[in-house]
Amino acid sequence: MRLLKPLGSEVTVHIEAPVAEVWALVSDVTRIGEFSPETFEARWTRGSTGPEVGASFAGHVKRNGIGPTYWAPCTVTKYVEGELFEFSVGTGSITLNNWGYRLAAAGAGTDVTEYFRLQPDLHMRLYWLLLGPLRGRTNDRGMRTTLERMKKVLEA
């Protein structure tokens, strides 16, 4: 029996577009504002100009789509072109959570999975215990919305 709930979730959507086209979209953080219900813009920071491990960017977030609004510092932590794009949210010394995209060719299209996971420290475990069900549902809806909006653009 599992005593602790996973500190995250994921959503997968099939997109009828080649992996390269899906990859170009999910790894371009400057376009996230077109798709996400919470992050309405993002820009590369600290001299970064594109996705690679260690690149920095900031996402402008409107929490739950209603506020508060804030800039979230992010760092690319995993980058395997055409397969995996992951980034941490937080400062250099404190990571709050990780978000990412996994891609896999499926027929003539691509299965794209968006996921998030919280850091497994005590603070985040307590947060997830108290607010996890509500925030998890919000994140699942947001990930599905993001991927469905990407699908609409890529399949047009």
- pLDDT score for 5: 57
Whether 2 maps to a domain, the answer reads no
Looking at residue 77, which CATH number applies to its domain?
3.30.530.20
Calculate mean pLDDT across residues 41-51: 97
pLDDT above 90 for 140: yes
Q: Report the percent of the chain where pLDDT is more than 90.
A: 75
1 domain-assigned: no
Residue with tokens 């108290």: 130
State residue 3's pLDDT score.
Answer: 47
75 domain-assigned? yes
Does the residue 51 lie in any domain?
Answer: yes
Residues contacting 95, CB < 8 A, separation 6+:
88, 89, 119
Structure tokens at 79: 């980058």
Does 42 score more than 60 pLDDT? yes
3 domain residue, yes or no: no
Q: Which domain holds residue 41?
A: 8-155
Residue at 97 is within a domain: yes
Residue 91 CB: number of other CB atoms within 10 A? 10
Count of domains for the chain = 1
What's the whole-number mean pLDDT along residues 95-109? 95
